[in-house]
Amino acid sequence: MATILVIDKDPLHGQMLAFLLRREEHFVISFTDPEQGYELVRQREVDLILLETAHSRHDGYRVCKEFTQLCPATPLVIVSERTDEDQIVRGLLAGADDYITKPYSPRVLLAHVQAILRRAKAPSRVLASDDTVSIGALSLGRGHARVTIHGVTVELTPTELRLLQVLITNSRRVLSRGQLMTLAWGSSFVGTPKTVDVAVVRLRRKLDKYVPNGTVYIKSVRGFGYRLEAPLAVGG
């Protein structure tokens, strides 16, 4: 059983989501106002946030960013009637771990929820629980899912953490978007190469705050995918 927070401006849709989730024996807390959700996650942990981004009084994508700042380790899924690619990319860049478009099948929604909860509980099995791996100034302590650069902790979402785990354990090896999707999201994940690109952009932005201008940890390999390598030292 998971504790799931639902934020939806439409109380009827929020009630329907809560009904579906409770039928799967999840504990659901539902609000129409994001401010109530902010207060809740300041006081207690939740396992998943389902967010409808269309709101008359709030910018839904700003709400998404606010939740990922308040609880970066909690996966967040956007449920929206906005189906064009630009809106989906915007949602993923705002910090969402998944994006479900309306109308949707209840079975599909529940499958997404089950998959993301499973991934959040076991982000990766690629490292032993007590292993620490490093590349350049970047270190990943798998036991506590702790990422540091030059000793400074970098806050990552569950998706970003899984992606980094895959990249760092395959450092200097080029991984295609398909390989990254399978290794970081799982073979059952329904996504597109754009999903990988957006996740890489988010992760790269966070890592590159700590390296000199013009150098990056995650390198793009045109027409194929990505690899992770230590940035060259200044003057190196």
**Residue-level pLDDT at 190:** 64
**Residue-level pLDDT at 231:** 76
Same domain as 187, residue 113: no
Crossing angle of helices 60-70 and 34-43, in 10° steps, is 0
Provide the residue type at 181 as one letter. Answer: M
Domain that holds residue 25: 3-121
**Residue-level pLDDT at 84:** 86
Same domain as 87, residue 8: yes
Examine residue 233 and state whether it is found in any structural domain, yes or no.
no
Answer with the residue of higher pLDDT: 57 or 128. Answer: 57
Same domain as 96, residue 13: yes
- Could you say which of 100, 121, 142 is where a domain stops? 121
Same domain as 151, residue 203: yes
Same domain as 108, residue 36: yes
What's 188's DSSP letter?
A: T
Structure tokens at 141: 């302590």
Examine residue 126 and state whether it is found in any structural domain, yes or no.
no
* Element containing residue 113 per DSSP (H, E): helix 106-121
- CATH number for the domain spanning 141: value is 1.10.10.10
Our count of domains for the chain comes to 2
Confidence of residue 183 (pLDDT cuts 50, 70, 90): confident
- CATH number for the domain spanning 53: value is 3.40.50.2300
- Could you say which of 95, 121, 147 is where a domain stops? 121
Tell me the three state secondary structure of residue 69: helix
Q: What share of the chain is helix, strand, coil (3-state, %, to 5)?
A: 45, 20, 35
The C-alpha angle 230, 234, 235, rounded to 5 degrees, equals 120
Examine residue 100 and state whether it is found in any structural domain, yes or no.
yes
Confidence of residue 235 (pLDDT cuts 50, 70, 90): very low
Q: Which of 27-41, 143-157, 167-181 has the lowest mean pLDDT?
A: 143-157
Side-chain half-sphere CA neighbours of 35 within 13 A: 2
Residue 76: exposure state from Cβ atoms within 10 A (0-12, 13-18, ≥19) = buried
234's CB contacts (< 8 A; 6+ apart) are 212
Examine residue 234 and state whether it is found in any structural domain, yes or no.
no
Same domain as 143, residue 114: no
Structure tokens at 6: 């639902």
**Residue-level pLDDT at 15:** 93
Confidence of residue 24 (pLDDT cuts 50, 70, 90): very high
Examine residue 177 and state whether it is found in any structural domain, yes or no.
yes
Same domain as 157, residue 55: no
